[in-house]
C-alpha cells in the first residue's frame, strides 16, 4: 500500500483533493489530504511542511508526495523530511534555491505566458479578472458552487520567504501538467520543468484545478506512476 500525501495550493484547503482521494483509496491505497494554514499570516513554508508531516501516519510505508500549484514549494520539503519514494508536481510552482514565492512569478515569466495563451485561445488578455474563467472553466458546476461558498484567503507570508532547501531532493520527480491551464500554461510548465528539473511533463486534460475538474485522470496518472 502506498500513502499519497496530497498538498493543496493557495489557501491550503484539503477539500481540493476530495474527488481524487476516494479513487486512490478504492485502489487500495492511503490518501492523506493535508490542510495547510494558508490563511494564517504567521505561517510560512516551515509551518506548511509541518502541517503535512503532522497529518501523515508515523509509518506511512511507501510515500508519494503530491503538490498542486503553490504546493510545489512544500512538496519537496516534506518528501526530503519523510524519505518519500517519489514527488509528483501537479500544475505546480517549481522553486529553485534562494527563490521566494513572490519572486517565482517574474522569474519564470508567468504573466507573459498567461497573456500569450489567452491571445492564442481568443480570450481578451486585458479582461477584468474572472475567477471562474481562469480557474473553474472546466470544473463541474456543482463543484464550482461548493468551492465558491468555502475556501480560505491565502496570506502573503510565504511569498516573502525563501524556499528552505539548498537543492531539489534526490528523489524521482514526476511533473503533471493540465493541457488547458490558464494560470500556468502548459508551455510555461514544460519550460520551467525542463530548465529547473530536467523533466518533461506528462500532459493531462484539464485546467489549473485539474483535481476538481478531472479527478479520474489525476488518479490514473498517480496510480500509473505507482
pLDDT tens digits, one per residue of 154-178: 999 999 999 999 999 999 999 999 9
In this predicted structure, what is the pLDDT of residue 226? 61
Across the beta sheet with 86-90, what order do the strands follow?
Answer: 30-33, 2-7, 62-68, 86-90, 173-178, 202-204
CB 31 within 8 A of CB 24: yes
And the C-alpha cell for 124?
A: 481578451
In this predicted structure, what is the pLDDT of residue 150? 76
The domain spans of the chain are 2-224
In this predicted structure, what is the pLDDT of residue 149? 87
Mean pLDDT value of segment 211-220: 98
Residue 55 pLDDT level (bands cut at 50, 70, 90):
very high
Mean pLDDT value of segment 185-192: 98
Mean pLDDT value of segment 105-109: 98
pLDDT above 70 for 115: yes
For the domain covering 2-224, report its CATH number: 3.40.50.1820
Mean pLDDT value of segment 64-71: 98
Nearest residue to 45 via CA among 208, 170, 165, 176: 165
In this predicted structure, what is the pLDDT of residue 151? 76
10-54, pLDDT tens digit by residue?
Answer: 999 999 999 999 999 999 999 999 999 999 999 999 999 999 999
Query: pTM for the complete prediction?
Result: 0.96
CB 204 within 8 A of CB 179: yes
Q: Phi, psi (5° rounding) for residue 6?
A: -105, 115
Amino acid at each position: 500500500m502506498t500513502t499519497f500525501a496530497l498538498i493543496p495550493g493557495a489557501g491550503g484547503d484539503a477539500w481540493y483533493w476530495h474527488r481524487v482521494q476516494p479513487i486512490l483509496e478504492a485502489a487500495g491505497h492511503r490518501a492523506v489530504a493535508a490542510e495547510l494554514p494558508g490563511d494564517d499570516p504567521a505561517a510560512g513554508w516551515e509551518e506548511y511542511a509541518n502541517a503535512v508531516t503532522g497529518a501523515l501516519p508515523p509509518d506511512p510505508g511507501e510515500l508519494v508526495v503530491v503538490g498542486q500549484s503553490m504546493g510545489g514549494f512544500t512538496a519537496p520539503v516534506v518528501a526530503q523530511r519523510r524519505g518519500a519514494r517519489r514527488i509528483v508536481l501537479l500544475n505546480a510552482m517549481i522553486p529553485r534555491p534562494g527563490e521566494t514565492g513572490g519572486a517565482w512569478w517574474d522569474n519564470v515569466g508567468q504573466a507573459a505566458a498567461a497573456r500569450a495563451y489567452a491571445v492564442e485561445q481568443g480570450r481578451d488578455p486585458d479582461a477584468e479578472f474572472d475567477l471562474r474563467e481562469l480557474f473553474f472553466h472546466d470544473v463541474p458546476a456543482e463543484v464550482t458552487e461548493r468551492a465558491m461558498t468555502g475556501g480560505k484567503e491565502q496570506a502573503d507570508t510565504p511569498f516573502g520567504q525563501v524556499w528552505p532547501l539548498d537543492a531539489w531532493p534526490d528523489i524521482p520527480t514526476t511533473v503533471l501538467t493540465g493541457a488547458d491551464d490558464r494560470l500556468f500554461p502548459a508551455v510555461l510548465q514544460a519550460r520551467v520543468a525542463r530548465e529547473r528539473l530536467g523533466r518533461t511533463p506528462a500532459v493531462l486534460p484539464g485546467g489549473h484545478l485539474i483535481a476538481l475538474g478531472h479527478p479520474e485522470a489525476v488518479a490514473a496518472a498517480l496510480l500509473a506512476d505507482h
